[in-house]
């Protein structure tokens, strides 16, 4: 709107100026040389005025972003975990959600609604559900990134809102499908989760072997000191599956060096892996569970959660089912059973040729028929 008004005003002013110059030339009050100078000055002034209007318009747009930033900072301060809270107990035993609800500021409906579940150390807990069911929000609440709107998250016997944020973040490790791929030397990229451990005897090779990534260095031009990232000349170029192995090794190193009770959240860890590697990756993730660690596995690949100790099913932000794979499959009208059978059918059923898109096969010619 501002640009439209400015353009209209500039055009009107230019037309009036040219009309006045023409009138003065006709009346003999102005020579052609002076008129030419006036035209050049008018054009220069018009361009400067247009540039001024554009800069003012851009300043106004940037001011809107500054206002949004101030609103975000104010809201984040209200929701952030305290930095001077109580230290967490060394042994938690379990992490428990008690009627936890969460709603994002710009949404009308709750992402989570009165969700109650218990995560005991030493177990593998799976969380499944369709897109938009609240799985990612639940993981953000568990990791302390999002504070619940209602309900309580207990770390052992301590309320999350009373805990020290440094202790809470130290007890949680998260591996997501879009984990950060740092453009750093390979060894530093693996150590970045626990930099305080130093280099000597930090169990780096153990973590690499756990993720089946200990042979990747053979492809690196400078071994584990090679830069990872395509933006550098001579850097190592990794595929998506190889990056996920690096991510799993980084997560393993962060968790196995944790002596206190902790939570490992794994969100879609096999999205870039082939089927055989995917099966092995799920096995390696489940192996990270220990008496002092609970593994929370979030995935759409239901074949990977069959061996979980407990499976929680979310639907529209509500916890609708819980139990083992066998228990949930025994429910004829269960949501988990329906999802599992729908995925299994894609591997077991032979599709009709008429229902398969794409080019059809051709009948072999007589000399190509099998003898």
Q: What is the mean pLDDT of residues 347-354?
A: 55
Per-residue model confidence (pLDDT) at position 323? 92
Q: What is the mean pLDDT of residues 77-105?
A: 82
Task: State how far the Cα of 356 lies from the Cα of 329, in Å rounded to an integer.
Answer: 29
Query: Per residue in 116-138, is it b (16+ CB within 10 Å) or e — as a string?
Result: ebbbebebbbbbbbeeebbbbbb
- 190-246 pLDDT, tens digit per residue, is 887 776 666 555 577 887 887 777 777 777 777 777 788 777 776 777 777 778 788
With tokens 């593998």, the residue in question is: 124
Let me know: does 158 contact 89? Beta carbons within 8 Å: yes
Q: What is the mean pLDDT of residues 292-319?
A: 87
Contacting residues for 84 by C-beta, under 8 A, at least 6 apart: 164
């Amino acid at each position: 709107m501002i640009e439209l008004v400015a353009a209209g005003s500039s055009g009107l002013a230019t037309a009036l100026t040219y009309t006045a110059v023409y009138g003065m030339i006709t009346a003999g009050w102005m020579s052609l040389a002076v008129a030419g100078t006036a035209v050049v000055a008018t054009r220069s002034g018009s361009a400067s005025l247009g540039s001024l209007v554009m800069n003012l318009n851009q300043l106004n747009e940037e001011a809107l972003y500054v206002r949004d930033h101030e609103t975000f900072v104010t809201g984040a301060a209200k929701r952030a975990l305290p930095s001077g809270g109580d230290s967490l107990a060394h042994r938690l035993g379990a992490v428990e959600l008690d009627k936890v609800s969460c709603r994002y500021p710009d949404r009308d409906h709750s992402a989570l609604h009165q969700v109650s579940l218990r995560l005991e150390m030493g177990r593998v807990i799976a969380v499944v559900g369709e897109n938009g069911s609240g799985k990612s929000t639940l993981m953000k609440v568990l990791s302390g990134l999002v504070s619940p709107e209602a309900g309580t998250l207990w770390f052992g016997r301590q309320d999350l809102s009373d805990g020290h944020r440094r202790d809470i973040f130290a007890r949680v490790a998260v591996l997501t499908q879009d984990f950060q791929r740092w453009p750093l030397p390979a060894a530093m990229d693996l150590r970045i989760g626990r930099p305080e451990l130093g280099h000597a005897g930090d169990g780096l090779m153990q973590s690499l072997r756990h993720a089946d990534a200990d042979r990747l260095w053979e492809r690196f031009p400078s071994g584990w000191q090679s830069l990872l990232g395509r933006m550098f000349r001579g850097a190592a170029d990794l595929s998506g599956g190889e990056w996920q192995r690096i991510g799993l090794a980084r997560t393993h190193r962060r968790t196995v060096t944790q002596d206190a009770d902790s939570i490992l959240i794994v969100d879609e860890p096999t999205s870039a892996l082939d089927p055989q590697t995917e099966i092995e990756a799920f096995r390696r993730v489940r192996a990270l569970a220990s008496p002092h660690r609970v593994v929370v596995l979030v995935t759409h690949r239901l074949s990977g959660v069959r061996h979980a100790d407990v499976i929680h099913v979310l639907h529209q932000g509500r916890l609708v089912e819980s139990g083992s794979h066998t228990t949930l499959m025994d429910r004829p009208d269960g949501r988990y059973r329906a999802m599992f059978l729908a995925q299994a059918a894609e591997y077991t059923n032979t599709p009709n040729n008429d229902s398969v898109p794409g080019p059809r096969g051709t009948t072999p010619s007589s000399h190509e028929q099998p003898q």
